[in-house]
């Protein structure tokens, strides 16, 4: 890719392709100031630290009017002046070098003009002042789902050579989301439902915005603990192994999860729909995992269309976990699955996915899956064995959605690479 220089998205110069602008010089100046506190003792003061000064990125360019040009020198000067008016506030310099594309958030100073050389050329010195005196690269991201109070890794690699400020986008359902770094943490006193979003911007001036599903964004206030700090929430160069936790990162979606409430007969169990093409469903009151009831499915013929199921509205892209306790008849195990009703496709194929629990002792089966694009409705199945006279038991089923978090950051550099 040809090297180039852009300001506020407008191309000022491209290597070999800018007949009206010649790139002459560039200087990248970044000073430091030592903070010294004066004391009453005239022979001793205290060094408090060193802070970066504003960065000055200075470009020397020549505006050219080659033979046959459609522009006059006056028009080129006017174009440069209008491009660098201070009225636009903070804008972006984009510099493509041999190593990549880098950005600097700047305010333009007044252009300094040299003498016109006839009607064909004039040199200009343009200073750009960066209050955040660090170059930055392209933004990258990392993503993970919450698992309640169980810590989940969110690994963020800062490819720059200076600390960078992350921003976090939390999506519900999640309660009191928390991100922990090496020496900082962010935790919010907030209960989010599916479709809700919390956007946390750590770069000064930091802010947090909560957007309920279908609603307008409002500022989110209130850390959950006094240990939370925007100011400290930075990513050091290299790998930053962040940790995600929450008071609750899941929401139970199944109803009558333990088969404790009887239905009208049929269905045998309230909230569970029965498909009885190849078998029968019974209320088991002895062989249970917990509580006083379990579901007992017996195939009366060989075949798959035999199950209990429930249907749910879901959010595309969100992660869900289906779990249940089950056991077989000593030889056979049950079949289970998840179907995308919107797109008429299997997420977990209930015709072929076995629990792999054939013995007489209950064991837990768990499967985590992501909702496909466009899917807004799913159905979960707890099925028979598919074998004539085969028996299987189910108890304490669960389906829950995970909240998630995406971290975004740009690598920062002490100097233009």
CATH assignment of the domain containing 118: 2.40.30.200
- How far apart (Å, rounded) are the C-alpha atoms in residues 275 and 339? 15
How do residues 195-207 score in pLDDT, each as one tens digit? 899 999 999 888 9
Mean of the per-residue pLDDT values of the chain: 92
Q: What is the pLDDT of residue 250?
A: 66
- Specify the DSSP element, H or E, that contains 76: helix 73-83
- How far apart (Å, rounded) are the C-alpha atoms in residues 365 and 26? 63
Tokens of 196: 């809700």
Q: Are 259 and 294 in contact (CB under 8 A)?
A: yes
Q: What is the pLDDT of residue 305?
A: 80
What is the arithmetic mean of pLDDT over 97-108? 95
Q: Is the pLDDT of residue 42 over 80?
A: no
Q: Are 327 and 393 in contact (CB under 8 A)?
A: yes
On whether both 274 and 398 belong to a single domain, the answer is yes
On whether both 187 and 264 belong to a single domain, the answer is no
CATH number, domain of 216, equals 2.60.120.860
Alpha-carbon distances, residue 255 vs 263, 274, 400 (angstroms): 12, 14, 11
Q: Are 32 and 54 in contact (CB under 8 A)?
A: no
Q: What is the pLDDT of residue 297?
A: 97
On whether both 257 and 396 belong to a single domain, the answer is yes
Q: Are 175 and 198 in contact (CB under 8 A)?
A: no
Q: Is 163 left (phi over 0), alpha (psi -120 to 50) or beta?
A: beta
Cα–Cα nearest to 269, from 277, 258, 261: 261
- How far apart (Å, rounded) are the C-alpha atoms in residues 29 and 109? 14
Contact partners, residue 316, CB within 8 Å, separation at least 6: 371, 372, 373, 374, 375, 376
On whether both 106 and 125 belong to a single domain, the answer is yes
- How far apart (Å, rounded) are the C-alpha atoms in residues 63 and 391? 85
On whether both 199 and 236 belong to a single domain, the answer is yes
- How far apart (Å, rounded) are the C-alpha atoms in residues 198 and 177? 10
On whether both 335 and 236 belong to a single domain, the answer is no
Q: Is 396 left (phi over 0), alpha (psi -120 to 50) or beta?
A: left
What is the arithmetic mean of pLDDT over 307-332? 93
Number of domains in the chain: 3
Q: Which residue has the tokens 């995970």?
A: 402
- Name 208's bridge partners: 200
On whether both 397 and 256 belong to a single domain, the answer is yes
What is the arithmetic mean of pLDDT over 381-390? 95
On whether both 246 and 295 belong to a single domain, the answer is no
Give Dmax over CA atoms of the chain in angstroms.
Answer: 102
Is-cis flag, bond preceding 111, omega within 30?
Answer: no
261 pLDDT tier (thresholds 50, 70, 90) = very high
- How far apart (Å, rounded) are the C-alpha atoms in residues 81 and 98? 28
Cα–Cα nearest to 30, from 136, 129, 159: 129
Q: Which residue has the tokens 């070098």?
A: 97
Given 106, 133, 160, the domain boundary residue is: 133
Given 107, 133, 159, the domain boundary residue is: 133
- How far apart (Å, rounded) are the C-alpha atoms in residues 304 and 232? 57
Tokens of 139: 């933004």
- How far apart (Å, rounded) are the C-alpha atoms in residues 288 and 244? 35
Contact partners, residue 226, CB within 8 Å, separation at least 6: none
CATH number, domain of 308, equals 2.60.120.260
- How far apart (Å, rounded) are the C-alpha atoms in residues 381 and 275? 10
On whether both 258 and 348 belong to a single domain, the answer is yes
Q: How far is CA 83 from the centre of its chain?
A: 35
Query: What whole-number percentage of the chain has pLDDT above 90?
Result: 70
On whether both 244 and 370 belong to a single domain, the answer is no
Pairing mode of beta strands 10-14, 191-192: unpaired
On whether both 295 and 354 belong to a single domain, the answer is yes
Given 81, 101, 133, the domain boundary residue is: 133
On whether both 46 and 82 belong to a single domain, the answer is yes
Q: Which domain holds residue 224?
A: 140-250+404-413
Q: Is the pLDDT of residue 413 over 90?
A: yes
What is the arithmetic mean of pLDDT over 361-387? 96
222 pLDDT tier (thresholds 50, 70, 90) = low
Instruction: State phi, psi for 63 to the nearest 5 degrees.
Output: -90, 130
């Amino acid at each position: 890719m040809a090297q180039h220089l852009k300001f506020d998205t407008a191309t000022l110069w491209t290597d070999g392709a800018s007949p009206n602008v010649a790139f002459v010089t560039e200087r990248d100046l970044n000073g430091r100031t030592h903070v010294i506190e004066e004391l009453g003792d005239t022979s001793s003061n205290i060094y408090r630290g060193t802070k970066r000064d504003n960065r000055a990125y200075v470009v020397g360019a020549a505006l050219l009017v080659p033979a046959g040009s459609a522009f006059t020198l006056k028009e080129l000067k006017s174009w440069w002046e209008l491009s660098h008016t201070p009225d636009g506030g903070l804008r972006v310099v984009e510099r493509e070098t041999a190593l990549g594309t880098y950005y600097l958030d700047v305010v333009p100073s007044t252009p300094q003009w040299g003498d016109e050389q006839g009607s064909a050329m004039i040199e200009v010195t343009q200073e750009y002042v960066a209050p955040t005196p660090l170059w930055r690269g392209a933004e990258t991201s990392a993503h993970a789902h919450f698992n309640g109070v169980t810590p989940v890794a969110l690994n963020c690699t800062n490819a720059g050579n200076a600390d960078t400020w992350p921003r976090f986008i939390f999506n519900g359902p999640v309660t009191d989301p928390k991100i922990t770094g090496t020496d900082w943490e962010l935790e919010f006193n907030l209960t989010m439902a599916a479709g809700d979003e919390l956007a946390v911007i750590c770069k000064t001036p930091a802010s947090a915005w909560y957007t309920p599903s279908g609603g307008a964004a409002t500022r989110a206030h209130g850390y959950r603990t006094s240990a939370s700090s925007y100011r400290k929430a930075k990513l050091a160069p290299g790998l930053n192994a962040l940790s995600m936790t929450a008071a609750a990162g899941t929401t139970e979606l199944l109803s009558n999860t333990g088969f404790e409430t009887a239905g009208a007969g049929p269905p045998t169990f309230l909230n569970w729909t029965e498909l009885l093409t190849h078998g029968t469903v019974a209320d088991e009151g002895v062989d249970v995992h917990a509580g006083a009831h379990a579901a007992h499915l017996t195939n009366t013929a060989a075949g798959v269309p035999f199950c209990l199921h429930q249907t749910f509205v879901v959010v595309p892209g969100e992660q869900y976990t289906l779990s249940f306790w089950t056991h077989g008849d000593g030889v056979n195990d049950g079949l289970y699955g998840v179907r995308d009703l919107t797109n008429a496709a299997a997420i977990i194929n209930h015709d072929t996915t076995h629990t792999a629990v054939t013995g007489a002792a209950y064991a837990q089966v768990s499967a985590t899956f992501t909702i496909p694009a466009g899917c807004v409705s799913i159905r979960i199945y707890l099925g028979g064995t598919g074998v004539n006279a085969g028996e299987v038991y189910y108890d304490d089923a669960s389906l829950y959605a995970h909240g998630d978090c995406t971290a975004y950051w740009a690598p920062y550099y002490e100097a233009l690479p």
